[in-house]
Structures are given as C-alpha cells and as structure tokens.
Amino acid sequence: MGKELKTNAIRFLDRNKISYDIQVYQCDEFIDGTDVADKLGQPHELTFKTLVAQGKSGGYYCFLLPVAMELDLKKAAKCAGEKSVALIHVKDINRITGYVRGGCTPIGMKKQLPTVIHSSAKSLERFYISGGRIGTQIYLSPAELAGAINAVFGDIALQSP
C-alpha cells in the first residue's frame, strides 16, 4: 500500500487490528456519496456518508447513514441525547474533524466524536465509508467499527415517502 493511502482512518484501523479493504477512485474535488457509489458500482444501501452535527449543548456528533437517505435531525438529536442538533457548516468540517468535505470519516478525527450509525448497518456484514480523503473508500464491518469507536446504532433517517 502506498504512503498516499495511509490516512488517519487507515492508521487507526491498522492500530486496532480491524480488517478492511480499500477502494480508490479518481476525483479531484467533492462529489456526493451517491455519485461515489455509482462510480464504484457500490450499492447505495452499503455506501454510507458521514455527517457532523452540533447539539444544543455545544457538543459535536457524527452520524453515518446510507448515501441515498436524509438525516432526520429530530431522530438524530434523540439518539445523541440532545434537545436538538444542526448540521455544521461545510467551512467548519476541517476545523472540527481534521478532514475535508467528501473525505470525512468517523475514525481518526482530531477528537473522536460520539457516533450514531444508521440501524440498517447492524445487519450488514460489511459496508463502505469514506477512507479519510477524497478518492478513498474503506470496506469494513459495521460491528467492528462500532466497537472500536464506541458507536451506537439508531434510527436516524427520514422515512421514505
């Protein structure tokens, strides 16, 4: 594996002896998660995006959900134990997480944030998440990820019409 692929997320997985595969794609700027999944031929229900929100208390939280789903802020707040949460502004992603938009992942952040993974991942053997930089995806076990970062599973998505 080339040095360019050793992101903080990958270093974290290596240190914690978590099995993973890497999938890379050519991309010079942000594209949304559904476009990434389509580009790599990944099912949308196995490809998760990482969203960061701030609670009314001032704390930050990380939410993972399938790329085609939308975060339900009320459900997310309930799972986080907050009265309300709001997504952080794009310009604040790097300052808070150490990652850039399109490369944000729940592992290897500047500070590990409390994380909620959409409940659909609980039944999956493996899923795709960002690898810590644009152009890198990590394929790993949601259960192993949750155990390593003390994440919980919860119903955090808006229901489809």
Q: What distance separates the 2 farthest-apart alpha carbons in the chain?
A: 45
Check pLDDT > 50 for residue 1. Answer: no
Q: Which residue do the tokens 């999944």 mark?
A: 37
116 contacts 63 by C-beta, under 8 angstroms: yes
Give residue-wise pLDDT tens across range 16-30: 999 999 998 887 666
How many Å apart are CA 105 and CA 63, to the nearest integer?
A: 10
Q: Which two tokens stand for residue 14?
A: 């290596």
25 contacts 135 by C-beta, under 8 angstroms: yes
Q: What is the mean pLDDT of residues 30-38?
A: 79
Strands (E), the chain: 20-24, 48-55, 60-66, 85-87, 115-118, 127-130, 136-140, 152-154
SS3 139: strand
Residue 85 main-chain phi, psi, to 5 deg: -135, 155
pLDDT number for residue 36: 84
pLDDT number for residue 2: 45
Check pLDDT > 70 for residue 4. Answer: no
**Cα–Cα distances in Å, from 90 out to 53, 58, 66, 93, 104?**
11, 17, 19, 5, 11
Give residue-wise pLDDT tens across range 79-126: 999 999 999 999 999 999 999 888 899 999 999 999 999 999 999 999
Q: Which two tokens stand for residue 12?
A: 């974290």
Higher pLDDT among residues 39 and 98, named by residue: 98
- Domains belonging to the chain, first-starting first, are 3-154 (3.90.960.10)
SS3 102: coil
Q: Which two tokens stand for residue 123?
A: 């039944």
Whole-structure pTM value: 0.92
Give residue-wise pLDDT tens across range 57-86: 999 999 999 999 999 999 999 999 999 999
